Structure 1
């Protein structure tokens, strides 16, 4: 089994946090988004993953440090890492085709801006499985249309009339991803675009037209990381899940507490110092951060930041920030200073 991860986008909706760190590498509940996504997919697959192919953007942005991180992620799952580049933002189908040498055999394609919780078996009879989530407002999403056999027969983008309540979340399984590769190559050769971009859906629709069987794999939870408010909410939900699972140590043993209280669930990284403060619930604090004379709840704080005299809720603060003040719902990128 392979996992293909297109992640070349800059994540403009998450600025300023994505100005210095690619969005898929921004930590949520203590781990980068793409790390959590790939690990959760590997759990659902319930079979060995032999290769993980990452499609990155400009090397000036997705540099050696990013590549090293992704190679370590693949190794931790017993897989080979393959690194590809998408030099131009020409759509989802184009991004997949940038990993053309890896497009053979069974594979999952997953876009690295979402997190999931799921437990289901892949349908052995299906040529492909499109992962979906039941939503209350399907008119706001791309949804699948099903026939009487519960097979997907059409993909409908933001339907004005009810089609189904199963939204496509951007994760796909292909029994042989080479079939999708051939269809996407046709799309590229014929220069078929939507909004100037080559889309995965056009390749999928050609597979459906040839009679390939598509089924749904419904996830229990679907968490986005598109902007600051949604990312904070995802951090909150993920911390709740991790506390229930009990599989990860959420508070590092090297944390220093001086007249400080942690209200769980929280993630507190290595070598964090908490003085005269109350942290939590639903707070993630990156390594080597110092927090003094503060109360913080439902917030995301990254590495090597210093916070004093703060009362924060629904805040997202980057790396190497100096913050001293009486603000609340803040969003500060890396290397900001408020004193």
Structure 2
């Protein structure tokens, strides 16, 4: 392990605001990285994992959201974890590697020996200290977290081939058309500062080609990637693929859970994964109850301290209740995220659903879905301030904000 003097920094890419369209209608209200999973902001899970890295000096969040959208969160998380967290706003797209290069002077101000790079929309157990230890042992420029997935789903991600003994990255291809490997890139990395030289090489090489293009029409016939701006550098195609097989990049395989959070359906699945992880990492965050003084709790459930739940309600498994939620008598909740200031009245049932801020579900109503996390209407979503009146059934539907439902609906998107 390194000497105590060597510092480490972490960078979390939070994306936005042009992205996140697949996360609607939930991203209308709050930046996707601040959407709560298991009662904590999505970005909170990688941030709290970074806290476990030895000699962590700073955490940077890089994205396109306005600074005011993150200001409150950044200040509260810095105080809570006692680690400086800074939000850095990109002025234009620089690509996944170009983004960290653009802010390299700030990232390097503590002269770190290692830089972690994480994507916010990744859900996993983030084994960062183990990764760092393996990375130092390998002695390369970078180490990426990888996982085995089914051969059918591998082509949705970056596929790679690694040496089974040395763990060196031998080949890398992003979303290939033909099957390469069932090992995929998890979007979690640790690098030495040499990564900035590699990014600079791509930029200057592209700049050289751009100068050449002014005198040669042959360039116009080359691939579209030649037309990328010189300061736009992608980590996967521009850094990982060319450096594979050159004893610079290595892999660290996780045997734990891993998912990408692209849609509201996946956020419900990932909330469940984090809740089950709390059993081992943060059991104090999980609710308990026996149905006498408190509600009956089944499986893993998070209840915000300000939420009011009737003792005759039955909650769980996989339920997360946010601030100021009110749950009436006889309510049954299974596999759902209930956001701030929601009221669910007597004997209502909510299953496989996300209930948006300030919404209200009437007596004896049902809001439910099949629970297929990948299907467009596999979970039911109520946007902000949706009212479901008494005895109304909503199945496999998405309801945009500020709507009142007084008739039952099934498999509909209500605009």
Q: CA deviation at 1:285?
A: 0.4
| 2:125 paired residue number | 117
* Whole-angstrom distance in 2 between the partners of 1:113 and 1:338: 31
Check conservation: 2:357, 2:384, Cα contact below 8 A: yes
Q: How many equivalent pairs are there?
A: 332
TM-score normalized with structure 1 length: 0.86
Which residue of structure 1 aligns with residue 15 of structure 2? 8
Segment of structure 1 superposing worse, 14-23 or 300-309: 300-309
SS at match of 2:367: coil
Partner Cα distance (1:54, 1:92) in 2:
13
Note the residue ranges of structure 1 that are not aligned, 5 or more in a row: none
Once the two structures are TM-superposed, the CA of residue 187 in structure 1 deviates from its matched residue by 6.8
Q: State the secondary structure of the residue aligned to 1:287.
A: coil
Give CA-to-partner distance per residue, 1:264-284, whole Å, 9 cap, x none.
Answer: 310000121112421111100
State the match for 2:316 in structure 1. 280
Mean Cα deviation higher: 302-311 or 107-116 = 302-311
Residues 24-68 of structure 1 deviation map (CA, whole Å, 9 limit, x = unaligned): 11111111111111212443x3x1211111113242xx525x223
- 1:314 aligns to what SS in structure 2? strand
Structure 2 CA distance for aligned equivalents of residues 54 and 257 of structure 1: 44
What's the counterpart of residue 67 of structure 1? 71
Matches within 5 A, 1:1-339: 1-10=8-17, 11-43=20-52, 45=53, 47-59=54-66, 62-64=67-69, 66-89=70-93, 91-104=95-108, 105=112, 106-119=114-127, 120=130, 121-124=133-136, 125-137=139-151, 138-147=154-163, 149-176=166-193, 177-183=195-201, 185-186=203-204, 189=207, 193=225, 198-205=233-240, 208=243, 211=246, 213-219=248-254, 220-251=256-287, 260-275=295-310, 276-293=312-329, 294-308=331-345, 309-324=347-362, 325-329=365-369, 330-339=380-389
Does the 8 A contact of 2:171 with 2:244 survive in 1?
no
C-alpha separation between the residues in 2 aligned to 1:187 and 1:18?
38
Given the superposition, is the C-alpha separation of residues 247 and 188 from structure 1 closer, same or farther in structure 2, using an over 3 Å criterion? Answer: farther
Mapped partners of 2:120, 2:74: distance in 1: 12
Contact 1:301 1:316 in 2 (8 A): yes
**1:189-220 per-position Cα deviation (integer Å, ceiling 9, x unaligned):** 46784896641224424872794521112222
8 Å CA contact 1:6–1:56 kept in 2: the answer is yes
Q: Alpha-carbon deviation of 1:247? A: 4.1
Task: Flag the 1:68–1:32 CA change in 2: closer, same or farther, 3 A.
Answer: same
- Say whether the 8 Å CA contact 1:24–1:32 is kept in structure 2: yes
User: Which structure ranks higher in relative contact order (CA pairs < 8 Å, sequence separation ≥ 6)?
Assistant: 1
Q: Deviations over 1:89-139 (max 9, x none)?
A: 453234333423234341011111012115433321121001111111223
Q: Give, in whole Å, the separation in 1 of the partners of 2:343 and 2:102.
A: 41
Unaligned runs of 5+ in 2: 1-7, 211-223, 370-379, 390-415
Distance 2:80 2:46 in 1: 14
SS of residue matched to 1:18: helix
Instruction: Give the Cα–Cα distance (whole angstroms) in 2 for the partners of residues 74 and 139 of structure 1.
Output: 38
Equivalent residue of 2:25, what SS?
coil
Find the aligned partners of 1:79 and 1:207 in 2 and give their Cα distance.
35
CA RMSD of aligned residues (A): 2.9
